C-alpha cells in the first residue's frame, strides 16, 4: 500500500509541474503534427514553372507535364529569380523555364529551348523526368510543321491534326510494374510514422527523468524516513519508480489514444501494442534506475538522463526513420531499445502482425528491462546496506 501511495504522490507532483506537462503531453503531439504535415502528405516531385509570355504552346507543354507519369505537382512562378531561389532552398525539386516567345518562335519555324533548373547532383537525372513530355510535344510540333510546309495548311490546323494523329500512332508502349514491398505503405496515413517515433522517443525521456527523483530520494529523504516510519527503503524506491513508470504509461496511452482518435493513426492489434508499450516503459524505467543508482548529483543525472534519452532516440531511429540509415548504423541501431520497439510497431501496423509476430521484439525488450533492473537493484541494495 505504501508503495502505491508513494507512486501516487510522485505522479501528482509531476502532473502539477507545468514544464513537465509540456514535455510529456504537448511537445510530442506538436512534433507528430509537424512531422505529419511536413513529410506525410506529399510524394510527387514539385515542379515550378515560369511560363509568362510562352503562349498557347507553352500552356500545352505545361499540361503535358502535369499529366505525365512523373505525377509532378506543378506550381506557377512569376519570375525566374523566384523560381531559382525556391529550387536552391529545396522547396522545389525542379524548375522549368519556358521562355517568352516560345509559341511565336515555334510557329515561326524556329527552334525553342526550355531550361530545366535543379540542384547540382540531381539536375541531369531529373531533367529526364521532364524530357518525355518535352519530346512528345516536340514531335507534335515537328509533325505539324512538316504538314504545314507540305500541304500549305494553317499551323493551327496542322497542329490540331498532329494532336489527333498522335493518339493513333502505335509508338512504344511502356508498362511499369512495381516490385518489392514498400518500406512505408502508402495507406498508413500521414501521421503514423511520426506518432510511432515520438511515442518511443518521449516515453523514454519521461522515464529517464525518474533518475533525478531516485537520487533525491536516496540523498535527502531515505535515511530520515527510514528512521521515522516503518516504511522500508525498498518500498520507497519501488514507489518512486512505479510513479515514473505510471507517468510514462499515462503518456504512452495519451499519445496512442489522441493520435488514434484525432489523427486517425493506426496502432495495429491493441493487445500486442499494449504489451509492447509496457515492455518499452519497463526498459525506460530500468535505464533510469541504473542512472539513478550510479550517479550522485541529481542535476547532473537529470541532464545526463535527457542526453541519454535523446542520443538513444536518435541512434534508435526515433528521430530520423531507421529505414533511411546507411549501414552499418542500421545494424548498430539495434543496441537501443528504441529500434526494437519501433520495429515492433512497424510489424504491427505495416504487416498487420499480432503478439506472435512481435514476440522477438518483446523478447529483446524484456531481456533489456530485466538486465537493467537487475543491475540497478544490486547496486542500490549495496548502497543501502553499505550506508
Closer Cβ to other proteins, 106 or 288, answer by number:
106
Paired with 311 in beta bridges are none
For other proteins, the binding residues in 1-20 under the rule CB under 8 A are 17-20
Is 307 a residue that touches other proteins (CB under 8 A)?
Answer: yes
Cβ of residue 351: shortest distance to other proteins, in angstroms?
A: 15
For other proteins, the binding residues in 346-375 under the rule CB under 8 A are none
Q: Among candidates 283, 295, 298, 279, which has minimal Cα distance to 380?
A: 295
Between CA 357 and CA 100 the distance in angstroms is 60
Is 64 a residue that touches other proteins (CB under 8 A)?
Answer: no
Is 27 a residue that touches other proteins (CB under 8 A)?
Answer: yes
User: What does each C-alpha distance from 281 to 108, 187, 205, 206 come to in angstroms?
Assistant: 73, 29, 10, 9
Among 1, 16, 78, 111, binds other proteins (CB under 8 A): 111
Is 37 a residue that touches other proteins (CB under 8 A)?
Answer: yes
Is 310 a residue that touches other proteins (CB under 8 A)?
Answer: yes
Cβ of residue 357: shortest distance to other proteins, in angstroms?
A: 21
Which three cell numbers, joined as nine digits, stand for 84? 531559382
Is 187 a residue that touches other proteins (CB under 8 A)?
Answer: no
**Per CB under 8 A, which region of 241-249, 324-332, 339-347, 370-378 contacts other proteins?**
324-332
Q: Among candidates 332, 286, 328, which has minimal Cα distance to 311?
A: 332
Between CA 380 and CA 37 the distance in angstroms is 45
Cβ of residue 305: shortest distance to other proteins, in angstroms?
A: 11
For other proteins, the binding residues in 125-184 under the rule CB under 8 A are 125-132, 134-148, 150-153, 157-158, 161-162, 164-166, 168-183
- Asked whether 201 and 338 are in contact (CB, 8 A), the reply is yes
Is 78 a residue that touches other proteins (CB under 8 A)?
Answer: no
Q: Among candidates 163, 55, 153, which has minimal Cα distance to 104?
A: 55
Among 124, 234, 257, 378, binds other proteins (CB under 8 A): 124
Question: Sheet containing 73-76: which strands, arranged edge to edge?
Answer: 73-76, 46-50, 94-97
Amino acid at each position: 500500500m505504501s508503495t502505491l501511495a508513494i507512486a501516487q504522490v510522485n505522479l501528482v507532483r509531476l502532473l502539477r509541474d507545468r514544464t513537465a506537462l509540456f514535455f510529456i503531453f504537448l511537445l510530442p503531439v506538436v512534433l507528430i503534427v509537424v512531422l505529419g504535415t511536413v513529410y506525410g502528405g506529399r510524394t510527387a516531385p514539385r515542379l515550378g514553372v515560369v511560363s509568362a509570355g510562352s503562349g498557347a504552346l507553352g500552356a500545352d507543354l505545361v499540361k503535358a507535364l502535369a499529366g505525365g507519369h512523373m505525377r509532378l505537382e506543378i506550381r506557377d512562378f512569376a519570375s525566374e529569380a523566384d523560381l531559382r531561389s525556391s529550387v536552391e532552398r529545396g522547396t522545389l525539386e525542379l524548375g522549368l523555364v519556358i521562355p517568352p516567345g516560345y509559341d511565336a518562335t515555334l510557329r515561326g519555324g524556329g527552334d525553342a529551348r526550355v531550361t530545366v533548373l535543379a540542384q547540382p547532383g540531381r539536375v541531369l537525372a531529373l531533367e529526364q523526368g521532364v524530357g518525355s513530355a518535352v519530346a512528345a510535344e516536340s514531335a507534335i510540333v515537328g509533325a505539324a510543321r512538316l504538314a504545314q510546309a507540305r500541304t500549305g495548311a494553317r499551323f493551327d490546323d496542322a497542329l490540331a491534326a498532329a494532336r489527333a494523329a498522335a493518339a493513333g500512332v502505335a509508338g512504344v508502349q511502356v508498362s511499369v510494374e512495381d516490385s518489392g514491398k514498400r518500406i512505408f505503405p502508402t495507406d498508413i496515413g500521414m501521421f503514423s510514422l511520426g506518432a510511432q517515433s515520438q511515442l518511443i522517443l518521449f516515453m523514454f525521456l519521461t522515464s529517464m527523468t525518474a533518475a533525478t527523483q531516485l537520487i533525491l530520494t536516496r540523498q535527502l529523504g531515505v535515511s530520515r524516513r527510514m528512521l521515522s516510519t516503518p516504511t522500508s527503503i525498498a518500498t520507497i524506491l519501488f514507489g518512486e519508480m512505479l510513479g515514473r513508470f505510471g507517468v510514462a504509461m499515462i503518456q504512452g496511452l495519451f499519445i496512442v489514444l489522441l493520435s488514434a482518435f484525432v489523427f486517425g493513426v493506426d496502432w495495429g492489434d491493441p493487445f500486442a501494442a499494449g504489451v509492447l508499450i509496457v515492455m518499452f516503459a519497463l526498459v525506460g524505467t530500468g535505464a533510469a534506475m541504473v542512472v539513478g543508482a550510479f550517479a550522485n548529483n541529481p542535476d547532473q543525472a537529470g541532464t545526463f538522463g535527457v542526453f541519454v534519452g535523446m542520443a538513444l532516440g536518435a541512434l534508435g531511429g526515433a528521430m530520423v526513420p531507421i529505414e533511411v540509415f546507411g549501414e552499418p548504423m542500421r545494424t548498430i541501431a539495434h543496441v537501443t531499445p528504441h529500434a526494437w520497439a519501433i520495429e515492433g510497431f512497424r510489424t504491427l501496423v505495416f504487416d498487420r502482425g499480432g503478439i506472435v509476430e512481435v514476440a522477438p521484439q518483446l523478447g529483446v525488450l524484456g531481456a533489456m528491462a530485466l538486465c537493467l533492473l537487475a543491475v540497478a537493484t544490486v547496486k542500490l541494495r549495496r548502497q543501502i546496506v553499505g550506508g
